[in-house]
Amino acid sequence: MGYAAELFSWCLKSMEYLGYLDESKRSRAYLLISVPALTILPAAYNICFNWTGLGNAIYDIFIIMNLITTVTRAFAVITHQKKFADTYNEIDNWYNNLEHDDDKRTFYELQKFTKRTVHFSKYIQRCFTCAAAFVSFQPILTQYGNFVISIAVPGVDLLKSPSFEIIYLLQAFWVIPVCTYSYIPSVNSFLILMSFGTFMLKDLQQRINNLSQMNEESALKNIKKCVQFHMKIINFHDDLEELFSTTNLLDVGIYCIIMCMLLIYSMMEFNLALILKGILILCVQTVSLFQTIFYLANDFSDESLAIANAAYNTNWTQRDVKFRKYVLLIITRSQTPLQFTAGGFKPLTMEILLQILRISYSLFSFLKGTM
């Protein structure tokens, strides 16, 4: 994985180190993710039977939801190791083909894209490492005597020493780091893959636009390559949909609930701990991930539709029958947009994002009326 290792940088290294992409390290992967998985039930029990206020309950629900989606994403990567490896290898093949085609413009643009992506990826790493550190040490700084993730077990007082110290250390130095470097690399990889696919779609549009400037023989040769390239992009989209559709459904479900909770959160009386927790939820869920995923997925879909316009705008009326058949094939394949979905139910588009925001506000209004 030469180019893929550079493009995905720390995300790929994290998943390899945790054992998610290595068959020989699968036992390590299951061991590491087992503790976050085992934390979910005690955390849910604590919300149901140890009520400490709505503000803390909202934050605890946020943490539980992130535990669930983290564990799900980890198992999705582990069970699709070969599929992920094939996807990364396919990106390497694309890079090598561009290098051999001696297309200096596209290769230069790809290098610029890679630098921007790596820079953004490292920025995400720093931000979420700081957020993870805050989550780990926030109880000590604001409410000493609480766990990082509030949990309870029937008939057992976990706040007594040494149970408290052991559980706190496990959560601060095992659960939170493993969740951070499992969830964020998975989400960030999806963002990078969508961005790479969008770049390839724009490159294909440019290739199609250049056909009008070629003679008959060169145009026919290159449009055949465009048809093959288009098919590779379609297969690439289908692979990503298979790998991330289920986890996207979980994320969308979580975001709907969290958006409603944030509105309720804004009406509460705050102390320092609640303010910091609210800022964390807002930054992580609504700004950095939710809107970015929808924006990139929508951009990918729009660029896939633009392929048909690019093909139609060529001088196909002045070409022979073979050339026209290939143009028709590209246009036909581009009639249906390449959309990423949440479990196959709803596409990840900006229109759906606005619907989610409206539904969340409607639910908030209903809950507000019952309070």
* pLDDT value of position 144: 60
pTM, entire model: 0.86
* pLDDT value of position 307: 92
* pLDDT value of position 187: 86
Q: What is the identity of the amino acid at 80?
A: H
C-beta separation of 150 from 43 below 8 A? yes
C-beta separation of 277 from 305 below 8 A? no
* pLDDT value of position 145: 65
* pLDDT value of position 35: 92
C-beta separation of 212 from 314 below 8 A? yes
Residue 258, C-beta contacts closer than 8 angstroms, at least 6 positions apart: 62, 65, 281, 285, 286
Q: Which domain holds residue 183?
A: 2-370
The mean of the pLDDT values for the chain is 83
Pairing of strands 341-342, 346-347: antiparallel
- The per-residue pLDDT for range 8-53, each reduced to its tens digit, is 888 888 998 888 988 888 889 999 999 999 999 999 898 888 777 7
Total number of domains in the chain: 1
Instruction: Summarize the confidence of residues 267-288 as an average pLDDT.
Output: 58
Q: What are the backbone dihedrals phi and psi of residue 153, each rounded to the nearest 5 degrees, phi first?
A: -130, 135
Determine the distance from the C-alpha atom of residue 126 to the mean position of all C-alpha atoms in its chain, rounded to a whole number.
17
- The per-residue pLDDT for range 215-261, each reduced to its tens digit, is 888 888 888 988 999 999 999 999 999 888 888 888 777 777 777 76
